[in-house]
Amino acid sequence: MHSRRTVLTTAAAAAAAAAGAGAGPAHGTAPAVGHQPADPAPSAATRTRLRRLISRMTPEEKVGQLFVMRVYGHSATDPDPADAAANQKEIGVANAAELIAKYHVGGIIYFGWAHNTREPHQIAELSNGIQKAAAAQRVPVPVLISTDQEHGIVARVGAPATLFPGAMALGAGGSRDDARTAARIAGEELFAMGIRQDYAPDADVNVNPANPVIGVRSFGADPQAVARMVAAEVKGYQGAGIASCAKHFPGHGDTDTDSHVGLPYIHHSAEEWERLDAPPFKAAIAAGIDSIMTAHIVVPAFDPSEDPATLSRPILTGILRERLGYDGVVVTDSLGMEGVRVKYGDARVPVLALKAGVDQLLNPPDLAVAHGAVLTALKEGELTERDLDAKLLRILLLKERRGLFKDPYTTHRAVDRVVGTRAHLATADRIADRTTTLLRNDTGVLPLSRRREGRVLVAGVDAAAPSGTGGPPTTVLARALTELGFTATALSTGQTPTQQRIDEAVAALRERDAAVVATYNVTAASGQRKLVEALLATGKPVVQLAVRNPYDIAQLTGVTAALASYSWTDVELRAAARVIAGLRSPAGRLPVPIMRADAPTRALYQIGHGLTY
């Protein structure tokens, strides 16, 4: 089940080695690097006030404050019947207000699939309802409301909120100012909806092209470049008043197993970790990061017990706390993921995580079991009240720093003034224009001409975009090209096109002047290869656009015009359309190397490659 293969490409390793020159010695010999200067230190009076608040709590209330939990529904008190039933089944309560009253949870995480994020005004009302429920408790403590709004392929809040290019697209743009601006605007919009923590940025360095879970969620394969972008986004989010969270410590970038479904191994030595994985987390700490999320990965070089990092005291306390000097909040990745559940039962996982150095326990599969297990460990002395109080103080200091004790509420006026404004949307488009990467243009196919190639077939994948967006990639691209003066027709052929769909696409192209084909993580056996080859065989101009990982071109040797957008969301596809139409010159540069399919140790394109016109 566990993959022990480490894929460190020659080009990526070389780039990392050059970028990491001057890095400190291996684990166990370097001094702490911790300094968190972004926000002023809390006053003695603030600490005293929060300690008094903690002293008023019962053990049940203290334990509850450690949990960040999902809850179904668009309303804190009146969810749809199906959502109330789902809450009863999974949590034993009907709604968010009952969740707070029963378990005293300190945080709630929003998901689209939990129907928390229908539209901005509803999100604001939900947030206010949650805070009202928290204020009504015996010991009122505001709730830290969070979500995963990385942008790109991971965005829980869709349009009409502003959606920006994701991390790897920003890495291709290479602008720290753009990264900081995107994070600041995104943070302002989340704040207006009552969300005070974003589980972003992703601080993983994606040096493994086969990584199934990180990929374009990472800024790239150069550790120092990733570190600069991570620091910029931390400053952007926290400058907007919300907590940022760097993930996934100690680094999830070199895996070929998805920790949602298995337990990945990272076989980096201590020196390789220092050079490849550590720089972005050090940069986040130096930028004053409020929180860091753990990874459900095994790193034998740091913990021979082969416990996942989430449960590893040598990693979370020995490295993160003591060596890197980090004293902010440590939150687990979701405790419902298989990577943290394969070795221990659901009752032991939260206790072991707290003993390892975690402060917040995110989304356990069974809250009653997890809450009860932590409470029992506290009563039996496995967890000490002193240690628990220290964790609570970190959490409450974060809430204090983000203004929750002063005013946890929002308003419809704030939503209307901030969320999805014309200025924000225009900024997102300008940033996206600097990210599209032209990988190949051997015969000068690009840009397409409205005169010569005015009738365009847009074929390819139909990956789902975040809610509220324009639809599958083919539809969005065709619409964008039509608005730019082409006559574009969409034909979704899917990620695994059948021969019938391939034949339909070929027939459609014969009636048109050119094709744009959107590809998604093409493999050697993929039907997408057959689709592209069949379109090329017509002799018509064909433009290939990678709408997720940029590595597709390695499998498509016959393609002469290739672009990478790094995501299939509207903002990136519209930018790609402007490049295809020649309204913008491609400005992105590869933030990862693309290795040859027939010789995986040799680079087809190096980091920094990118053509223009």
Closest alpha carbon to 290 in 393, 397, 376: 397
Determine which helix (DSSP H) or strand (DSSP E) holds 37, and give its type and residue range: none
pLDDT at 115: 97
Q: What is the CA radius of gyration of the chain?
A: 24
- Does a structural domain hold residue 592? no
CA 172 to CA 183: how far, in whole Å?
A: 16
Selected catalytic residue, list 333, 462, 513, 552: 333
Let me know: does 111 contact 70? Beta carbons within 8 Å.
yes
Q: Are residues 413 and 442 in the same domain?
A: no
Q: Are 120 and 74 in contact (CB under 8 A)?
A: no
Q: Indicate which residue of 260, 366, 389, 609 is catalytic.
A: 260
Phi, psi (rounded to 5 degrees) for 488: -110, 140
Question: Within a domain: residue 42?
Answer: no
- Residue 398 and residue 315 share a domain: yes
Extract the tokens encoding 155: 């965005």
- Can you tell me the distance from the alpha carbon of 457 to that of 513, in angstroms, rounded to the nearest whole number? 8
Strands 197-198 vs 144-147: parallel, antiparallel or unpaired: parallel
Lowest mean pLDDT among 30-34, 383-387, 505-509: 30-34
How confident is residue 469, by pLDDT bands cut at 50, 70 and 90? low
pLDDT of residue 466: 52
For residue 30, pLDDT beyond 90: no
Q: Is the pLDDT of residue 10 over 80?
A: no
Q: Which of 357, 387, 418 is the last residue of a domain?
A: 418
Residues 376 and 500 in one domain: no
Do 315 and 349 share a structural domain?
A: yes
What is the bridge-based pairing of β-strands 67-69 and 561-564?
Answer: unpaired
Q: Say if residue 249 is in the same domain as residue 181.
A: yes
Residue 31 lies in a domain: no
Point out the domain boundary residue: 418, 453, 471: 418
| More confident of the two residues 257 and 247 | 247
Residue 609 designated active-site? no
pLDDT, tens digit, 9 for 90 and up, residues 117-163: 999 999 999 999 999 999 999 999 999 999 999 999 999 999 999 99
pLDDT per position as a tens digit, 162-203: 999 999 999 999 999 999 999 999 999 999 999 999 999 999
Do 198 and 310 share a domain, yes or no? yes
Output the pLDDT for position 253.
Answer: 84
Helix (H, G, I), strand (E, B) or coil at 201: coil
pLDDT of residue 338: 80
Respond yes or no: is residue 260 known to be catalytic.
Answer: yes
Average of per-residue pLDDT values in the chain: 91
Q: What is the CB neighbour count within 10 angstroms for residue 247?
A: 25
Asked whether residue 350 falls in the same domain as residue 497, the answer is no
Contact between 217 and 202 (Cβ < 8 Å): yes
Residues 325 and 443 in one domain: no
Between β-strands 437-441 and 561-564, what pairing exists: parallel, antiparallel or unpaired?
Answer: antiparallel
> What 8-state DSSP symbol labels residue 314?
I
CA atoms within 13 A on the CB side of 26: 8
Question: Which pLDDT score, from 0 to 100, does residue 22 have?
Answer: 33
Q: Does some domain include residue 426?
A: no
| β-pair partners for 249 | 294
Q: Quote the DSSP letter at residue 318.
A: I
pLDDT tens digit string along 74-125?
999 999 999 999 999 999 999 999 999 999 999 999 999 999 999 999 999 9
Q: In this model, does residue 31 exceed pLDDT 80? A: no
Cis peptide before 550 (omega within 30 of 0): no
d(CA 161, CA 151): 11
Asked whether residue 211 carries a pLDDT value surpassing 80, the answer given is no
Specify whether the CB–CB gap between 563 and 532 falls below 8 A. Answer: no
Contact (Cβ atoms closer than 8 angstroms) between residue 66 and residue 354: yes
Plot region of 137 (φ>0 → left; ψ -120 to 50 → alpha; else → beta): beta
Residue 609 lies in a domain: no
Instruction: Please give the model's pTM, rounded to 2 decimal places.
Output: 0.91
Residues 216 and 67 in one domain: yes
CATH code assigned at 516:
3.40.50.1700
Task: Report d(CA 233, CA 150) in Å as an integer.
Answer: 10
Q: Which of 6-15, 223-232, 419-428, 533-542 has the lowest mean pLDDT?
A: 6-15
Model pLDDT, residue 35: 37
Mean pLDDT along residues 474-483: 96
**What kind and span of H or E run contains 459?**
strand 455-460
Are 46 and 53 contacting, i.e. CB atoms less than 8 angstroms apart? no
Band (pLDDT 50/70/90 cuts) for residue 340 is confident
**What is the biggest distance separating any 2 CA atoms in the chain, rounded to whole angstroms?**
78
Beta strands per DSSP E along 231-284: 243-249
Residues 447 and 388 in one domain: no
Task: Please provide the size of the chain in residues.
Answer: 613
Cα(612)–Cα(441) distance, rounded to whole angstroms? Answer: 9
In 240-304, which ranges are continuous DSSP H helix?
A: 270-276, 278-286
Q: Are residue 401 and residue 480 in the same domain, yes or no?
A: no
Confidence at residue 160, expressed as pLDDT on a 0 to 100 scale:
94
Cα angle vertex 371, ends 367, 374, to 5°? 145
Provide the 8-state DSSP code for 25.
P
Side by side, which strands form the sheet with 455-460?
437-441, 561-564, 542-546, 514-519, 455-460, 487-492
Tokens of 131: 């805070």
Closest by CA to 290, choosing from 246, 321, 355, is 246
Identify whether the C-beta of residue 566 lies closer than 8 Å to the C-beta of residue 538. no
Residue 23: which pLDDT band, with cuts at 50, 70 and 90? very low
Is the residue at 1 inside a domain? no
* pLDDT of amino acid 464: 62
Per-residue confidence (pLDDT) for residue 265, from 0 to 100: 84
Query: How far is the C-alpha of 149 from the C-alpha of 178, rounded, in Å?
Result: 17
149 bridge partner residues = 155
d(C-alpha 453, C-alpha 541), whole Å: 8
CA 117 – CA 194 distance, rounded (Å): 12
- Residue 593 forms part of a structural domain: no
Is position 594 within any domain? no
| Percent of the chain's residues with pLDDT above 90 | 84
Domain closes at, from 388, 418, 448: 418
| Ranges 3-17, 375-389, 402-416: which has the least confidence | 3-17
Query: Where does the pLDDT of residue 472 fall: very low under 50, low under 70, confident under 90, or very high at 90 and above?
Result: confident
Say what the pLDDT of residue 212 is: 76
Query: Cα–Cα distance between 518 and 511 in angstroms, integer?
Result: 19
Calculate the alpha carbon distances from 51 to 44, 299, 390, 394, 396 in Å: 11, 36, 9, 11, 9
Check whether 457 has a pLDDT greater than 90: yes
Single out the residue of 75, 61, 55 nearest to residue 123, CA to CA.
Answer: 75
387 and 469 belong to one structural domain: no
Of 509 and 36, the one with more pLDDT: 509
Yes or no: say if 233 and 183 are a contact pair by the CB < 8 Å rule. yes
The range of the structural domain enclosing residue 525 comes to 436-586
Cβ atoms of 122 and 468 closer than 8 Å: no
CA distance 480 to 567: 16
Q: Distance between CA atoms of 78 and 492, rounded to whole angstroms?
A: 39
Could you tell me the CA-to-CA distances from 168 to 60, 173, 359, 442, 591 in Å, in that order?
A: 42, 9, 29, 25, 7
**Tokens standing for residue 107:** 């945080």
Number of structural domains found in the chain: 2
265: domain CATH number?
Answer: 3.20.20.300
